[in-house]
Amino acid sequence: MQRPLPREAFSAPETYAKTRLPVDFAWTLIPDAYTSEEFHALEQERVFGRSWVPVCVADEVPEPGDFLVVEVAGRSIIVARNLDGELRAHHNVCRHRGARLCEGSGHVKRFFSCPYHAWAYDLDGACLGTPLFTPESEIPVDARAAFDMSDIKAFDKADMGLHPVRCAQWNFLVFVCLDPEAPALEDELGDLTERLAGYRLGEYRMARRVEYAIEADWKLIGENFMEYYHLPWVHPALVKVSPMDDHYRWQGPGKYVGFCTWPIAPNTDDGGWKGLPPVTFVEGQDAEAARFIWLYPNIAINVMANHVFLLLARPDGPGRTAEVAYLLTHPESVAGSADPEGDIDALMAFWDEVNQEDIGIVERVQDGLRNPAYEGGRMCYRFEESCHRFQNMVIDSMLGERVVPPGDDAETVRMFGPRDAAADRG
Query: Is residue 66 domain-resident?
Result: yes
Q: What is the pLDDT of residues 374-397, one digit of tens each?
A: 999 998 877 788 999 999 999 999
Is 140 found in the same domain as 234? no
What amino acid is encoded at 63 in this protein?
E
For the chain, what is the mean pLDDT?
89
Q: What is the mean pLDDT of residues 179-195?
A: 97
Contact 100, 76 (CB under 8 A): yes
Q: What is the pLDDT of residues 18-56, one digit of tens each?
A: 999 999 999 999 999 999 999 999 999 999 999 999 999
In degrees and rounded to multiples of 5, residue 293 shows phi and psi of -130, 130
Is 149 found in the same domain as 85? yes
Q: How far apart are CA 98 and CA 239, in angstroms?
A: 52
Query: Is residue 237 domain-resident?
Result: yes
Q: What is the mean pLDDT of residues 74-90?
A: 98
Q: Is a pLDDT exceeding 50 seen at residue 425?
A: no
Is 248 found in the same domain as 390? yes
Query: Is residue 171 domain-resident?
Result: no
Query: Is residue 212 domain-resident?
Result: yes
Query: Is residue 424 domain-resident?
Result: no
Query: Is residue 32 domain-resident?
Result: no
Q: How far apart are CA 196 and CA 257, in angstroms?
A: 14
Is 221 found in the same domain as 151? no
Is 153 found in the same domain as 212? no
Q: What is the CATH number of the domain that holds 303?
A: 3.90.380.10
Is 311 found in the same domain as 385? yes
Q: How far apart are CA 185 and CA 175, in angstroms?
A: 8
Is 390 found in the same domain as 267? yes
Is 354 found in the same domain as 242? yes
Q: What is the CATH number of the domain that holds 130?
A: 2.102.10.10
- 137 is in which domain, residue-wise? 54-166
- Domain termination site, one of 143, 166, 189: 166
E strands within 157-305? 164-170, 173-177, 205-214, 247-249, 256-261, 290-295, 299-303
Query: Is residue 22 domain-resident?
Result: no
Is 79 found in the same domain as 225? no
Query: Is residue 426 domain-resident?
Result: no
**297-300 long-range CB contacts below 8 Å, 24 or more apart?**
297/47, 297/48, 297/51, 297/53, 297/393, 297/394, 297/397, 298/48, 298/53, 298/54, 298/218, 298/222, 299/54, 299/173, 300/222, 300/225
Is 148 found in the same domain as 283? no
Is 254 found in the same domain as 159? no
Instruction: State how many domains the chain has.
Output: 2
Q: What is the mean pLDDT of residues 396-403?
A: 97
pTM of the model: 0.90
Q: How far apart are CA 257 and CA 294, in angstroms?
A: 5
